[in-house]
């Protein structure tokens, strides 16, 4: 399944209480039945990074808009190396 990273900002999300209120509940991680945000990172410069797995980028974009993000960029993930495993995002 394709994956993307989004980089941007959302009001207050760089503070732990706001991030917690936005992302604590499991329902907040699902854009729809086939689209899941798997990771959100709050960076030290106030920006955020979110990773999404889904069928189409537009579903991730809709989630970001619903959450109030101002998006700098969304990029597809090509490869992931994680603890010795390599995932190829170019293969179905």
Burial (CB < 10 A; 0-12, 13-18, 19+), residue 3, is: middle
* pLDDT tens column, 73-88: 999 999 888 777 777 7
| Domains of the chain: residue spans and CATH | 3-88 (3.30.70.3400)
Of 39, 35, 42, 40, which is closest to residue 15 (Cα–Cα)? 42
Q: With bands split at pLDDT 50, 70 and 90, how would you rate the model's confidence at 51?
A: very high
Tokens of 73: 């960029």
Q: How many residues does the chain have?
A: 92
Instruction: Identify the residue with better confidence: 28 or 50.
Output: 50
pLDDT of residue 91: 66
Q: With bands split at pLDDT 50, 70 and 90, how would you rate the model's confidence at 11?
A: very high
pLDDT of residue 2: 92
């Amino acid at each position: 399944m394709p994956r993307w990273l989004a980089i941007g900002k959302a009001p207050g999300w760089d503070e732990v209480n706001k991030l917690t209120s936005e992302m604590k509940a499991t329902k907040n991680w699902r854009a729809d039945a086939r689209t899941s945000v798997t990771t959100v990172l709050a960076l030290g410069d106030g920006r955020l990074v979110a990773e999404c797995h889904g069928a189409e980028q537009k579903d991730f974009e809709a989630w970001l808009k619903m959450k109030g993000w101002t998006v700098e960029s969304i990029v597809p993930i090509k490869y992931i190396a994680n603890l010795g495993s390599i995932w190829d995002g170019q293969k179905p």
